[in-house]
Amino acid sequence: MIVAFDFDGTLASSFSLINKCIFKVLEEEGIHMDESSLGPYFGPTEEGMINHILNNENRANFEKYLKYYSEYHNVLLNALNPYCIELLEHLKNKGITLVLLTGRSLESTLISLSYFGLNKYFEKIYVGSKDRGVKKENFKKLMKDFSCTNKDIIYIGDSKKDILDCLALDIKILSINFDNNRLIKLKELNKFCYSNFIDLEQELNKLI
């Protein structure tokens, strides 16, 4: 059995950090946006989002983003979501294979994994593409890499898109969201929805 975790909104409430750093890069280019304006750009990695907004493929913009990401990490993302580490420890002790499957960039992922000491938990990391969302493709890579089927995977994610991607591949997903309004909307698509990792773990224990 493989349990795959999303990062943003799942293991960590990281959108404030991501948004802040994107805004800092955009401001240097004279563009001012608010969080509600970013929604249509989510899907690719942070680099892809910045490129799309600026209509510019200049790698230097993403390098600025990573500089800000490191600089503000300790201020805007200094803790994981509650009971996250305990769940990872529990699964690791049971011999469950853990992977990280996220839509963000490899570079920012490695910064956060190092910051929180999470590298020891995940046997493999799958990240996004600057061109588009690639979670479905990454699930297929996962199945090939571990010689497993969709029935051997459980995904832990926080978004509607996570649910739709898993439904398309017939992969079991347990949804978690710490925003009650968003959680209600997720429950319209997936009955396995939770507001905390303690309740999620109870369902997970039935499946592993």
Q: What is the pTM of this model?
A: 0.95
Which residues does the chain have with pLDDT short of 70? none
CA dihedral sign of residues 125, 131, 136, 142: negative
Residue 77, strand partner residues: none
What's the pLDDT score for residue 35? 85
Report pLDDT digits (tens) over 91-132: 999 999 999 999 999 999 999 999 999 999 999 999 999 999
Please state whether beta strands 172-176 and 153-157 pair in parallel, antiparallel, or not at all (unpaired).
parallel
Query: Count H helices, E strands: the chain?
Result: 10, 6
For the beta carbon of residue 189, count every other beta carbon within 10 angstroms. Answer: 15
